[in-house]
Amino acid sequence: MLAIIGGSGMTQLSCLKISHRRVIRTPYGEPSGPFTFGTVNGHDIVFLARHGHGHTIPPHRINYRANIWALRSLSPEHIVAVAAVGGIREDLTPGTLIIPGQVIDYTYGRDFTYFDSSEDPVTHIDFTDPYSSVTRMQLFRAARLADEAVMDSGVYAAVQGPRLETAAEINRLERDGCDMVGMTGMPEAALARELGLNYATLAVVANYAAGRGTNVAAIPLKEIYVVLEKAMVRVRNIIEHLAKCYDDKTNT
């Protein structure tokens, strides 16, 4: 089974032929909402809207631990997180799709680990490469089959939100080596690693980051949704081919 976490601009997966929805309870509270099960071209998929029904949960209030724990209970082969980002690097123009290879965490106050009990021994995970190489490879393969252009690699800056950044903050992120900025990349990726899940992000550049490109003075928020609506058509095309890739055992 392939699991998809949908972010901004993706409250549902329109190419999914729904069979049922299920509420999953976890020791960490309630996930963002019911999980939607179904098939894409005959291949099993489960979908979760990260921000809940109607996009009502802000990034700093998402119960990331519950979401990932619930997904683990379904034993997915891979988890693909779709995320909207702002483009810092010059070539990351609105509408670009990119599969990041690294992440820098600037978030705070979020429940970021499962290993926080005083009764358990201290546990460390290797997070040198934060995304599954296998999942990323399959995403690139699906993009090629779908004839969709996807950029390789890049550093994702995970920030707190829900406000967008100042131009000075974007300058700082650029000096740190970040190529794009988003609000949901962490602790989601780290939690997936703690549970041994194959996880990768498919990022959609929704806008130039503050002070970049055409957004030197301000970010036109209404235009973001127009960009996302068009880009999600391409994302769904990739997911349709991705489902076939994962189901085709001879190619994994």
| Predicted local distance difference test score (pLDDT) of residue 12 | 66
Residues 91-117 have pLDDT tens digits of: 999 999 999 999 999 999 999 999 988
Q: Give which of 171, 234, 176, 188 is closest to 9, Cα–Cα.
A: 234
Angstrom distance (rounded) from CA 230 to CA 72: 31
Share of the chain above pLDDT 70, in %: 94
| Predicted local distance difference test score (pLDDT) of residue 242 | 92
Residues 234-249 have pLDDT tens digits of: 999 999 999 877 655 4
Angstrom distance (rounded) from CA 135 to CA 97: 16
Angstrom distance (rounded) from CA 79 to CA 188: 11
Domain count, the chain: 1
Residue 187 tokens, joined: 């602790």
By the 10 Å C-beta count (0-12 exposed, 13-18 middle, 19+ buried), 200 is classed as buried
Mean confidence (pLDDT) of the chain: 92
The answer to whether 181 and 86 have CB atoms below 8 angstroms apart is yes
230 is in which domain, residue-wise?
Answer: 2-251
Residue with the bigger pLDDT between 198 and 9: it is: 198
CATH code of 230's domain: 3.40.50.1580
The answer to whether 180 and 84 have CB atoms below 8 angstroms apart is no
